[in-house]
Amino acid sequence: MNYLLFTILTGIGATAMMDIWTIIRKKCFGIALPNYGLVGRWIAHMRHGCFRHKSIASAPPVHGEHLLGWVSHYVIGIAFAALLILINGDSWIHNPSIGPAIAVGVCTVAAPFFLMQPGIGAGIAASRTPRPNAARLQSLITHTIFGLGLFTSGWVLHLQGL
């Protein structure tokens, strides 16, 4: 299979699995769904040199922010899948294993902790949110699910001979 296509499909599958988890989490535990429109707003404001906000919800809305946020969410998932394959080489493509996938998933929690959350006004590792430890735990669980999604997607693609 084309390595690029494998990487793209693995990233999309892992991100979709993470999104399914957030829907389950909402139904079972009442935890709000992520608002990727606000992520899109944050990214859109970067083109004007604004990388940090006191509160992204208070920043002026941007046309197309929801689409930008969702597309960015999936592109980032693909980039993290590429990181997994870059670290582990094409041997992971030919024999997907859960350990490296979970490890990459867990490590990707650094992106929201140290880039996105401070940028949108939530502080480092959600320190400025009402319940920072709960937010941190949810981020860690969600990114672990993403890692499981990397493995599951890679395994399914491998079994399909793609």
Count structural domains, the chain.
Answer: 1
CA angle 73, 96, 88 (to 5 degrees): 75
Domain range enclosing 123: 3-159
CA angle 19, 25, 31 (to 5 degrees): 110
The pLDDT value recorded for residue 86 is 96
Q: Please list the helix, strand and coil fractions of the chain in percent, rounded to the nearest 5, in that order.
A: 75, 0, 25
Average pLDDT estimate for 102-109: 98
The pLDDT value recorded for residue 161 is 81
Buried b or exposed e, range 59-98, using 16+ CB within 10 angstroms: beebeebbebbbebbbebbbebbbbbbeebeeebbeebee
| CB of 119 closer than 8 Å to CB of 42 | yes
* Residue 34: closest CA among 43, 47, 23, 49: 23
* Residue 112: closest CA among 150, 154, 140, 84: 140
Average pLDDT estimate for 30-55: 95
Evaluate if residue 162 carries a pLDDT over 80.
no
Average pLDDT estimate for 104-121: 97
| CB of 1 closer than 8 Å to CB of 162 | yes
Helix (H, G, I), strand (E, B) or coil at 59: coil
CA angle 21, 110, 43 (to 5 degrees): 80
Average pLDDT estimate for 126-150: 97
Average pLDDT estimate for 1-21: 95
